[in-house]
Structure 1
């Protein structure tokens, strides 16, 4: 009996040793393979490079040819990424009189949406055949007039239908102020014939909600610009699109209106507008000042308007959810003649707090009764001068953006999860020299800009991508200021959301953004567009993330590591496009890669 007991003890000791000496579980993280630096223009065929010149704003991927298409300004480039360590330019083209807004690839066709700079009402979507390796060109198939500022396009997986977010921002037409009606467009190609066939375009407006706006506002939506007899349907600005799992419903973010539209694609009808509501920062934390000389993340008596840019529908188990990247945005028409100089944002210190308000009560209870609106507290924070106003005072302060990712249940449209202050906390812990930094000016030293965006919208959580990888939903969250990607995963349900890692393409913080750009030591600044490439479509058989940095003018190929690689397909060949000599010439000089 005693011998048996001793064996039990011995086995227990071995087990303990095994547990304590086992290798740590590898977290899901990103490793850069290569970065493409995009030229913003050409002079006599020579590419011109400049930091923060909108050289790259969106990208798309053709899995069959392993080609990445990139737009920026009026330029469209294509790169062969068959060798993801050494991308090669294979096409450049300029489209006159337009600004390119979005690019998508589906089936055998490239779709590009564009702002019409000659006639703002006539924004377009152009459809091209995929890159022709013989002619080394793109062949135009369709030009579709869709409306003012088609900011995003999204095709269904069968490529038969394309949904268009017609943002319709306000502008001056040379004689008067114009705020066009926002709309959702639906392009339909003939069944089984695809993008080469005849098409039908249907434009869905928001006029029916002009009688419902008061109820929508009461539930947390916004009607921002009401001057010039503007209607709610004119104020609405569709921005970003995502589909339900069966692709019968499109969810379209209305960023400045703090809401999203539910669109029946099959029956071509806008079913409803769902307000996002507000975030209470007495129950969360933020850094609200750029003049307190420190990272100071704490609770404040402020409401946050979520105002998400990117949204993404996901499925976890048998439930569907909407992920939102709560960037924040404002309407500022001060430079548009005829608008009356409208600007909805102001410093909190410029407002009078109502004595009977929850803000005043919080200040009294927490020792800020005379100092709440000092510059190192809430005084510098940019807030709305519209929301919360009662007479000449304000009973609440509303800041722009949630500085977070939120998760909404698509069966009830209720908020079920918000990352709270996690983004700012993670930056403070892991990248303090980039905390709420501003990456826009090339002559700024990276670390000198830390905390300079705290008074505005903080980190500006902007881009979002999600994919089922192995047994988990992996989420990539683009942080605009100055340029990071937070990786999260969900295993069983949304309450299991787990932070995995934080990536940045800014390699040093003691040099200027411009110098780092010249050294090709910076990428992913303002990662607005994130695209997941699954292993079966990837040129190296590994899961990749395509990251377009709008400010850095870059496209980076990032490998997703630390995931379950069961079932990953390794292609038999490198799969990249070749001429007969196996090389693709770049007549204008090969771009620089970092």
Structure 2
């Protein structure tokens, strides 16, 4: 984790309407300092005064009742408000309606069926809208998907419309299917089956990329020619590979992020684009979506499938509800040999965000970050649904946290991505300045899990649309992020504080020795086996690839090993250490430190003071050392170390958060050759190990205590302890 910026909630506007889409898509106009928010419940646009971001107030609303049956999206540019409105019959053409920022009608033009996301080109000369063309519920009418290009270069009242469709690809249906594009509607042509969802536009306003969510693909649009030029299949995510785990069951009563023999369809909803060194990159929020209609449904539980016995020799175990049995997958893929059983499993969405080059080649995927991060920050509410609290784990079998919205923004020369999680809620923040090696910055969630969702006391529920406001355009001169939350009907404003260091030091592809200054530094090792010392100041240190040696030195430092077997030492100050991939050694040193092994078999030592240790995935060794420490082993067979005279000192109170009986082990080092069974009998008899409401509490002789959270004394056995 690298803390280049920090988001803070400064205000929320509440419609008071629950679970009816009363706040879906926000758009900001710089000159009027107004925020335009889709209120689907009222078929309107709420117009908010954002001149004081800490106190947004409603000015008026723009009703769309005269133009159609539902308001889907809004965009603003140069004082022009464009709104996508579906017809009462969603299989008929819809409209894009134009207003000025005071809400006065300017014009309306007809576009394709079910217009959804829309955007202005960067030069403000055109408006593009994705027409989904969804079938009716009986699947008897299936309109064609398309992208409408609205030319407003001669003024809004003289707007002209060009519809770019997919008819030219109809003869290529088998070729596209072989490439991995999902074309599977009953009897549908390519043009009918493809459903444009979201649009991003190049900085030169020449090219647009459109997500085809159900089809697991992107479309490429030549804006000037008004033609779709390519369809790019996105492929599948192999959840059996390290770093691609997920929690597959809502029936296992716990957090169980692991690898499974399942492929994930990326199926992005929102898409954004940004440039680095003159190259365009695309970023997608891989929500996932299914077709589940009265006339056709592809959803099926793994437990109800006939699995091929050769591909799945352990099918009986896999199909238990606590394993893969309750996972929702598609029945349109997986029978690779056509014999009627399933040789592969394909789940909806990839529970991640991805970065692609402009040709659709993936350069990064966040793997299982989102579930690991939410499990760490909100362990009691992991994979909750967005319309009710006390819904722990209910979404694990169905797309998990469900990343839906994504925007990017540049702050102090660095590019950041903001990804909204529709189900559990909250915003993930990553630094994507290096598109191949993004770094996690922050997770912030404005949801109150103790509140009543329907009563409006649970905070933000279901973030749908996001918009970034740069410092230059912001009413208060600071960058802002706006999130519209469709379930709670709230629009929340986040203020972004920049905490970028003063110096930047970057190595090359070799084995570098890099040393910081007395100021606050950014130090990046890139490739090679690097040795980096932050020296003084509050430093941000990234080892990236290779087996690196990182040391923070003095100050409050952030250190990220990246890939490779890294050695990371915090030094003095309150430090954040992240091992990244592979097998790492982390030592906090002095100060109250946060140490995260992330992936691999890691050795984590807290050092002095009060530390937080998290092993992540893999078989980890955790040693809090001195101070009152909190330790989480994560996945794997983990060992919790307590050294004689160096831990459990008088007044110290350690906590083990997730001890797994029979799997993990507590080791007392330097305590002598003690028989674990005799010791356990003795401490139970002496009352030094007892049950509490929070778990088992052990009191060392006239010294510190350790709480084994969520485990009773009766569950423990001698095999859970060892002495050396």
Common topology (TM > 0.5): yes
| Match among 353, 356, 361 for residue 310 of structure 2 | 356
Change (3 A) 1:471 1:93: closer
Distance in 1 of aligned mates of 2:69 and 2:2: 49
> How big is each residue's C-alpha offset from its partner over 1:235-257, in whole Å with a ceiling of 9 and x where there is no partner?
11000000123120000000000
Q: Is the 8 A contact 1:31 1:559 kept in 2?
A: yes
Q: Is the 8 A contact 2:96 2:109 kept in 1?
A: yes
Change (3 A) 1:432 1:528: same
**What is the deviation of 1:163?**
0.9
> How big is each residue's C-alpha offset from its partner over 1:75-132, in whole Å with a ceiling of 9 and x where there is no partner?
221111111111221112432242101111111211111011157412000111221x
**What is the deviation of 1:537?**
0.9
Which residue number corresponds to residue 18 of structure 2?
51
Distance in 2 of aligned mates of 1:427 and 1:98: 37
Which residue number corresponds to residue 299 of structure 1?
259
**What is the deviation of 1:554?**
0.9
- Pick which of 24-33 and 114-123 moved more: 24-33
Is 1:436 paired with 2:380? Answer: no
SS of equivalent residue, structure 2 residue 292: coil
| Match among 469, 475, 483 for residue 547 of structure 1 | 483
Change (3 A) 1:505 1:356: same
Which residue number corresponds to residue 510 of structure 1?
450
Distance in 1 of aligned mates of 2:386 and 2:118: 28
Distance in 1 of aligned mates of 2:28 and 2:134: 28
Taking CA–CA contacts closer than 8 Å with sequence separation of 6 or more, which of the two structures ends up with the larger relative contact order? Answer: 1
Count residues with an aligned counterpart: 494
> How big is each residue's C-alpha offset from its partner over 1:31-83, in whole Å with a ceiling of 9 and x where there is no partner?
11110112xxxxxxxxxx33212111111111111111112121221111111
Distance in 2 of aligned mates of 1:453 and 1:306: 17
Work out which of the two has the higher radius of gyration on C-alpha atoms and give 1 or 2.
2
Distance in 1 of aligned mates of 2:4 and 2:501: 13
**What is the deviation of 1:439?**
1.5
SS of equivalent residue, structure 1 residue 537: coil
Which residue number corresponds to residue 423 of structure 1?
370
Alignment of 1:223-302 (within 5 A): 223-225=183-185, 227=186, 229-283=187-241, 284-302=244-262
Unaligned runs of 5+ in 2: 503-724
> How big is each residue's C-alpha offset from its partner over 1:266-298, in whole Å with a ceiling of 9 and x where there is no partner?
111110000001000111201000000000000
Is 1:333 paired with 2:293? Answer: yes
SS of equivalent residue, structure 1 residue 464: strand
Normalised by the length of structure 1, the TM-score is 0.80
Q: Is the 8 A contact 1:248 1:264 kept in 2?
A: yes
Is 1:346 paired with 2:300? Answer: yes
**What is the deviation of 1:550?**
0.9
**What is the deviation of 1:319?**
2.3
**What is the deviation of 1:526?**
1.6
Distance in 2 of aligned mates of 1:119 and 1:458: 29
Q: Is the 8 A contact 1:159 1:194 kept in 2?
A: no
| Match among 273, 286, 299 for residue 313 of structure 1 | 273
- Pick which of 288-297 and 401-410 moved more: 401-410
Is 1:482 paired with 2:450? Answer: no
Change (3 A) 1:320 1:79: same
Unaligned runs of 5+ in 1: 1-23, 39-48, 132-137, 567-594
Is 1:29 paired with 2:6? Answer: yes
Which residue number corresponds to residue 442 of structure 2?
501
Is 1:376 paired with 2:376? Answer: no
Is 1:386 paired with 2:323? Answer: no
Q: Is the 8 A contact 2:112 2:147 kept in 1?
A: no
